[in-house]
Chain A
Amino acid sequence: MSVSVTCLRTFGRILVPFTLHRRRRNVYSTILQRYMASKIPTVSYPNKENTPPPEQLELDRWKTTMKSSMQEEGVSTVSNNKDEDAVAATRELIEMWRLLGKEVPEHITEEELKTIMECSSKSSKKKYLKFLYVKEKLKKAKQRKKEMKAVAKEEAKKAKLLETTEEDEQRNFLFLRLWDRNMNIAMGWKGAQAMQFGQPLVFDMAYDNYMNSKEMQNTVSQLLESEGWNRRNVDPFHIHFCNLKVDSAYHRELVKRYGEKWDKLLLTATEKSHVDLFPKDSIIYLTADSPNVMTTFKHDKIYVIGSFVDKNMQPGTSLAKAKRLNLATECLPLDKYLQWEIGTKNLTLDQMMRILLCLKNTGNWEEALKFVPRRKHTGYLEISQHSQELVNRLKKTKSFNSFPKVNAHRKCGLNEKI
């Protein structure tokens, strides 16, 4: 393979100058003709202050082609409508940005264009365009993969046909291949059990006002994922969607994503608040801002998770909610078990769900905190070995919890690392 390539390359090296020369000569002659024929006012080239080198003439020649090609471009139809004008201008702008190699999508729909025009600032426009660009790229890659797969499948099929034409033997099976369906049915049974006897787990849906549409979409994706993890577990929770107002943003998005399955989900969706459904003293609101650290998973408590993706930095929102209703709060003991590196201690909803499921089944923190993203921490703290350090650390965190100035906290983390 490599041999052939080098071969080609040397070939090319010989060929290129010839072809180029010839082509250029052609080009120049056509250019000259065009140049004579065109009626554009010729721009006089002022002489450079430095004496023009002999190839100067050649250097400027490309300009004439560039200019003369105007004649071939179609003249744009001028629209009188101002709105339409703006739309067209935006479209052209995006096209020019694409020519410049900026991250903008190739194709754009009318609605997307409208969204862009509604963006208030240039940076928000660019941000949205980049989002569309990445989306388009992913879609294309997926499409390509799909095609490749189809081709491979086709070939495999052909090969198989060639190989096993006559020996189509009959074999004995115990089961028909209906695994997926059986799995679903089994999960449905378990879900029904959980609805009757399972431990409640509440998702608090009272955050619609704190999120923009993108965060809302992310939230619902995470809710879907959490529900999926719960469904597959040996001993699922009985999920409650509390404060879920019909026709709120949450509700619309959930119904859109689940489709007709929404009404058959084995969970409780209610407009009521969790304080109305359960006794107040058994509710524990989970929030990373809580001063209290969760030590063990209690099977008689009702844990509440706020379904809230916060990209706009509104710290303390969920803690404020719990404070208002006078509920107990807890946070995961991330600092106690993990050597935290970067990122917020807010975990995604599905991570929370998996951690809680694991705790519920095993009660082992190390096992459960496997679901914390690996990039956020450098490793587990060895508790037996550094027990002394742990005691000190606990003391420290305790005193710092009551004095949550970020500086102090960060400093403490640094000290320990060295």
Chain B
Amino acid sequence: MTAIAHRYEFVYLFDVTNGNPNGDPDAGNLPRLDPETNRGLVTDVALKRKIRNFVTLDKEGGPGYAIYMQEKAVLNNQHKRAYDALEIKPEDKKLPKDEARAREVTAWMCANFFDVRTFGAVMTTGVNAGQVRGPVQLGFATSIEPVLPLEISITRMAVTTEKEAEAQSGDNRTMGRKHILPYGLYRAHGFVSAKLAERTGFSGDDLQLLWRALINMFEHDRSAARGEMAARKLIVFEHQSAMGDAPAHVLFDTVRVARATDEDRPARSFADYRISVDAEALPRGVGVREYL
């Protein structure tokens, strides 16, 4: 497993129809909003959670693809995982023992856990070697246009407790609420550092798995709250060198998302947007590829 040798940046577009992509615990689970612009937000950690869940389903905890940060919901792999024992030799014998030990621990975690290798993890050790900085970094996803959350009231033809039933004298009904966005197209930016990948052993296969996860993760994340979510575009910039050949923001600026239909009317589907990549404006040494 050789680490990747190029720096990457990616633009990831996904949309939601009649659903809540990411609830805000501060606002009673309303979809997250940027209060100043009314644009929707999806946090980086929400996307990472879905990537982890996809990898769990895809690899079923195969050797090297265990997931450290787990949700119970995806713990259907109770079988003992096949596992290849690693013989790790500390690279430098001259280091003090505890640091070498910490490195060994870190290396073992990276080799066995996809999410540690990809996103990093914090391990408490006396020396400061127990922190893994992962090569993959995601920013917050922001909706292209302001979104308007709707509050939908729903009824349930049942109650939870006897007491409630008595209070309603047998008319067993309760009301609930759902928050949805009629439509929202979100854009997230991501970064993959080849130099940090060297340290964690994040390989080309891992990168392909990451792209696959981004493309397919909503297909395995259906729920009553989410509505219809779909990955719409994954545009990847590959630099020739490990350090990169252009500023990330310059690359991101080449991807434009514009309205294809009348801007005064609210967008309700992906067809209302037009995505263009200005390949002319790409700096030398940077390739662009649309994976989706």
Asked if A and B bind, the verdict is no
